[in-house]
């Protein structure tokens, strides 16, 4: 992802996992402490052109990482977060939060994005698309990803992304295909 993607590498999780771990949205945290840190009132994400709210939560590192930024460290953080999400599925929220704290520190180098509670019915971002696919495949509702950047510094065009997928023997799926499948599956 770092070499071929070039965009921010992040973790995408279902809302129910965030709820169990009591993970806040960064924008909500900022709103609750902006009296102490007035700059947070100035940088509030209230003008996002594609959405009403940022899905970013905490940035984490696994406690077994060194700096947290290396590919190995970020991979470990994402893998262990996925492992933890399976362990906490049937335990109480308080214990889940403690387990999370024992394994992870924040701030870190892996941002967590939380999917909208109503998934593709309310938001159609990368996070919701990935979490919807994971649920349809009956897999843990966690994914990782990054935007593929072009040489011009912009997100890769759909045409170039399709060519990249073909060249690298990858499946190319458009968001609208996922939305269509989700509507059928979630009825």
Over residues 119-141, the pLDDT tens digits come to: 888 788 889 999 999 999 999 99
Judging by beta carbons within 10 Å of its beta carbon (0-12, 13-18, 19+), is residue 75 exposed, middle or buried? middle
Q: Give the relative orientation of helices 126-136 and 175-185 as an angle to the nearest 10 degrees.
A: 50
The pTM of this model reads: 0.91
Report the alpha-carbon distance of residue 129 to residue 109 in Å, rounded: 23
And the tokens for 6?
A: 């070039």
Contact by Cβ (8 Å): 175, 124? yes
In order, the DSSP letters of 91-129 are S-HHHHHHHHHHHEEEEEEEEEEEPPTTGGGT--SHHHH
Length of the chain (residues)? 187
Which ranges of the chain have pLDDT less than 70? 52
The C-alpha atoms of residue 146 and residue 6 are separated, in whole angstroms, by 7
Task: Name the residue range of residue 25's domain.
Answer: 10-155
Residue 170 counted as domain residue: no
DSSP state of 80: H
Is there a domain that residue 34 lies in? yes
pLDDT at 180: 95
Whether 150 maps to a domain, the answer reads yes
Does residue 174 sit within a domain? no
Taking alpha carbons only, the member of 125, 56, 109, 112 closest to residue 84 is: 112
Residue 104 CA to residue 99 CA, distance in Å, equals 9
With b for 16 or more beta-carbon neighbours within 10 A and e for fewer, the 105-135 pattern comes to eeebbbbbbbbbeebbeebbbbbbbbbbbbb
**122 domain residue, yes or no:** yes
pLDDT of residue 1: 86
The CATH number covering residue 148 comes to: 3.90.870.10
Is 136 inside any structural domain?
yes
* Total domains in the fold of the chain: 1
> Within a domain: residue 78?
yes
In whole angstroms, give the CA distance from residue 27 to residue 142. Answer: 21
In a domain, 163, yes or no: no
């Amino acid at each position: 992802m770092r070499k071929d993607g070039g965009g921010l590498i992040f973790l995408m999780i279902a809302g129910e996992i965030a709820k169990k771990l009591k993970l806040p949205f960064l924008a909500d945290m900022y709103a609750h402490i902006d009296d102490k840190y007035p700059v947070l009132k100035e940088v509030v994400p209230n003008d996002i052109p594609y959405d009403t709210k940022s899905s970013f939560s905490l940035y984490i590192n696994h406690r077994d990482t060194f700096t947290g930024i290396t590919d190995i460290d970020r991979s470990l953080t994402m893998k262990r977060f996925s492992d933890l999400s399976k362990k906490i599925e049937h335990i109480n929220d308080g214990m889940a939060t403690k387990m999370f704290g024992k394994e992870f520190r924040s701030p870190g180098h892996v941002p967590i994005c939380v999917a909208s509670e109503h998934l593709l019915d309310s938001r159609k971002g990368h996070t919701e698309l990935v979490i919807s696919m994971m649920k349809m495949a009956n897999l843990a509702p966690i994914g990782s990803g990054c935007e593929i950047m072009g040489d011009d510094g912009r997100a890769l065009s759909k045409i170039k992304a399709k060519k990249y997928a073909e060249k690298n023997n990858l499946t190319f799926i458009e968001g609208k295909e996922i939305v269509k499948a989700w509507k059928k599956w979630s009825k």
